[in-house]
Amino acid sequence: MTEKRSSWSLAAFAAPCLPLSALGLPLVVYLPEYYTSELGLSLTVVGSAFLLVRLIDIIFDPLIGGIMDRTRTRWGRFRPWMVGGAPLVAAGAYFLFMAQPGMSAGYLWLWLIVVYAGYSMMSLSHTAWAAVLSSDYQQRSRVYGWWQAGNVIGMILVLTLPPIMSIVFKGDHGAGIRAMGWFIVALIPLTVLLATRAVGETTAPLQRHKSGVVEYLALLKRVSVRKLLIADLLMGLAPGIAGALFFFFFERIKGFDKTEAGILLLVYFVAALAGAPLWPVLARRIGKHKALAVASVIYAVVQVLAVLTPAENTVLGMLILILAGLPYSAAPLLVRAMMADISDEERLITGADRTGLLYALVSGTAKLGHAMAIGAFPVLALLGFDPKLPTATGETALIALYAVVPAALGLVVAAVMLRYPLDANRVAEIQRQLAERQPEPQPPAPEPDPNVAFLTPADR
């Protein structure tokens, strides 16, 4: 038998995704463009700051992941880290979103470092905590389906703020940015309290295994890990590039203003929310890795179609963004559900529970993809794009980086996933062998979760 969490339990668990995704989206889409166009910093300064701080942050992940694997508290391994990261995220978000014209590059660097440190602690502990909520191949997709739904809802809510501030309150673009900041700061403590109080955490193994940099790098020798990380990196990089260039593309190439482009982006994420339940269903039918391959091909095709839509055609623009949004949720939830399967594989082969380190890996590749995406800013400048002066060369470079490059990356992901080794049958065999081993004596769970049912094989 395996546990099945109630919908209420998973909704409460997903609550911190609202402010975390509400922060993560503007860090890629809104803030780089805002700091360049409104606050006066150059493309190179902004692109370099977001890129290098994110790369520094990636180094932080294996360190904190290893410490999480060795953490033993009455509250479990992962929840204390979520609580600890919350004040850092709230403080960093406040100062980044409330910045005024004339602020220095040092100001941007300082608060990026603070917010990313807290974001790493919260997002890594949250995704690793999700991995231990169920041991079932299909239920893991359901858990991360709720997690991804929370992420998309957070993005949708934060995307409504600039249009509301502009249309209802007649505020400028900066007012919309500041409203995003207040939204994040207000929700962080409320959602973290809800999740950590409403959802229990399974007891960690008594034995503490080594979980350092050596073990982190050793995980890369596993074929399943390498293929999954390649897919995660490229599916973070592709929409990351498109997201970073979204406003430039739809304003310069398609002729929309900022408010209209913001509404189109909102349509994209509404479609992503609608698509979130589809991918666990498809994964149940054809397997997680094949479902991800299908999503990446759809993404590639639609990304190219975006270039072919007529300028200033809102209806066709919305249709294309709906089609592009449907596969958006696939990679985040399926990759993390597959990483939970790899955690079982690691325990079978080495006897060590390295859940924290494994999710540090996947967190690192997602961040690397988004960091490299922000690197599109200096590349775009190098290719002749000027945010204030239209040129034929610059617009050609913008189209290539927004559409062609992400589409090519999506096709590479499909090719990699078709050769992924851990399907449902292989995971079932791994779990059967784990069950045959003599279990270690465990103390009772510190906080049993009442919102849990149990599945027999016939129920799955």
Over residues 92-106, the pLDDT tens digits come to 999 999 998 888 889
Tell how strand 452-455 and strand 2-5 pair up. Answer: antiparallel
**Rounded to whole angstroms, how far apart are CA atoms 316 and 393?**
26
Indicate whether 409 pLDDT > 90.
Answer: yes
Rounded to an integer, the average pLDDT of 130-154 is 87
Rounded to an integer, the average pLDDT of 55-74 is 82
Q: Is residue 210 part of a domain?
A: no
What is residue 442's predicted lDDT score, i.e. its pLDDT? 44
Give the number of other Cβ atoms within 10 Å of residue 308's Cβ.
Answer: 9
What is residue 292's predicted lDDT score, i.e. its pLDDT? 95
Structure tokens that stand for 423 in this block: 């399907």
Share of the chain above pLDDT 70, in %: 92
The structural domain count of the chain equals 1
Q: Is residue 40 part of a domain?
A: yes
What is residue 206's predicted lDDT score, i.e. its pLDDT? 54
What is residue 208's predicted lDDT score, i.e. its pLDDT? 57
Q: Is residue 92 part of a domain?
A: yes
Q: Identify the CA nearest to 203 among candidates 403, 397, 439.
A: 439
What is residue 205's predicted lDDT score, i.e. its pLDDT? 61
Give the number of other Cβ atoms within 10 Å of residue 341's Cβ.
Answer: 24
Indicate whether 214 pLDDT > 90.
Answer: no
Asked if residue 233 lies in contact with residue 368, where contact means CB atoms within 8 angstroms, the answer is yes
Q: Look up the CATH number of the domain holding residue 97.
A: 1.20.1250.20
**Rounded to whole angstroms, how far apart are CA atoms 332 and 337?**
9
Q: Is residue 458 part of a domain?
A: no
Indicate whether 459 pLDDT > 70.
Answer: no
Q: Residue 141: give the domain boundaries.
A: 14-200+218-429
Indicate whether 132 pLDDT > 70.
Answer: yes
Structure tokens that stand for 289 in this block: 């890795």
Q: Is residue 459 part of a domain?
A: no
Q: Identify the CA nearest to 442 among candidates 53, 76, 46, 196.
A: 76
Indicate whether 310 pLDDT > 90.
Answer: no
Torsion angles phi and psi, residue 207, rounded to 5: -75, 130
Q: Is residue 443 part of a domain?
A: no
Q: Identify the CA nearest to 177 among candidates 378, 372, 39.
A: 39
Most confident of 170-174, 412-416, 436-440: 412-416
Most confident of 127-141, 165-179, 218-232, 262-276: 218-232
**Rounded to whole angstroms, how far apart are CA atoms 412 and 435?**
36
Q: Is residue 440 part of a domain?
A: no
Angle at 53 between CA 406 and CA 115, to 5 degrees: 105
Q: Identify the CA nearest to 129 among candidates 280, 272, 17.
A: 17
**Rounded to whole angstroms, how far apart are CA atoms 174 and 441?**
57
Rounded to an integer, the average pLDDT of 360-371 is 79
In what helix (H) or strand (E) does residue 453 lie, and over which residues does it extend?
strand 452-455
**Rounded to whole angstroms, how far apart are CA atoms 112 and 146?**
28
Structure tokens that stand for 295 in this block: 């999503």
Asked if residue 168 lies in contact with residue 36, where contact means CB atoms within 8 angstroms, the answer is no
Q: Please tell me the chain's helix, strand, coil percentages from 3-state DSSP, rounded to the nearest 5.
A: 75, 0, 20
Most confident of 42-46, 148-152, 407-411: 407-411
In order, the DSSP letters of 218-233 are HGGGSHHHHHHHHHHH
Torsion angles phi and psi, residue 364, rounded to 5: -65, -40
Stated pTM of the model: 0.75
Backbone dihedral region for residue 453 (phi beyond 0: left; psi -120 to 50: alpha; all else: beta) = beta
Structure tokens that stand for 449 in this block: 């979760």
What is residue 444's predicted lDDT score, i.e. its pLDDT? 38
Q: Is residue 49 part of a domain?
A: yes
